[in-house]
Structure 1
Amino acid sequence: MSLLQNLPKNVGAMDRNIRLAAAGVLILAGLMTGNVVLDIIGLIVLATGFISFCPAYTLFKIDTTKKD
């Protein structure tokens, strides 16, 4: 768990809330339709929202956190 704590945060609060909501929709849609791909994508989105770190954001130098 300490490895996850050392990751730099690049997902802000609003972005995180959107990710968590979208993950719920994707996972539910995957479960209802039997589409495993939607479930996997939903779990990835859920994980990135939960740990507030997105590897794709690092590649594109995006940071939605507010720096004071």
Structure 2
Amino acid sequence: MKKNMGTTDKAIRLIVAAIILILYINGSISGVLGIVLLVLAIVFAITSFISFCPLYKPFGINTNKK
């Protein structure tokens, strides 16, 4: 896998994942919507840690400046 995510992209994804997690823990979001957003937060966190987004590949997006 070739890295296709830059540091800004990774930081934004981690911030969004943290916000979703906090809202889920506080009970602000719950039910099916809460579970879907929690799964999305997990995907955001994983893609941030591995610096690769599978959805970027078909569209030719690369935010990594290296």
Q: Could you say if the C-alpha distance between residues 59 and 30 of structure 1 is closer, same or farther in structure 2, counting changes exceeding 3 Å?
A: farther
Unaligned runs of at least 5 residues, structure 2: none
- Size of the alignment, in residue pairs? 61
Question: How big is the alpha-carbon RMSD for the aligned residues of Structure 1 and Structure 2?
Answer: 1.2
**TM-score of the superposed pair, with normalisation by structure 2:** 0.81
Counterpart mapping for 1:1-68 below 5 A: 7-33=1-27, 34=30, 35-67=34-66
Unaligned runs of at least 5 residues, structure 1: 1-6
Percent identity, please. 38
Query: What's the CA shift for 1:26?
Result: 1.4
Structure 1 stretch 51-60 or stretch 20-29: which is displaced more? 20-29
Structure with the larger RCO, 1 or 2 (CA within 8 Å, 6+ apart): 2
Which portions of structure 1, spanning 4 or more consecutive aligned residues, are displaced by more than 6 angstroms?
A: none
**TM-score of the superposed pair, with normalisation by structure 1:** 0.79
Q: How far apart are the structure 2 equivalents of 1:37 and 1:30? A: 11
1:1-34, CA deviations, whole angstroms, 9 ceiling, x for partnerless residues?
Answer: xxxxxx2100001111111111111122223233
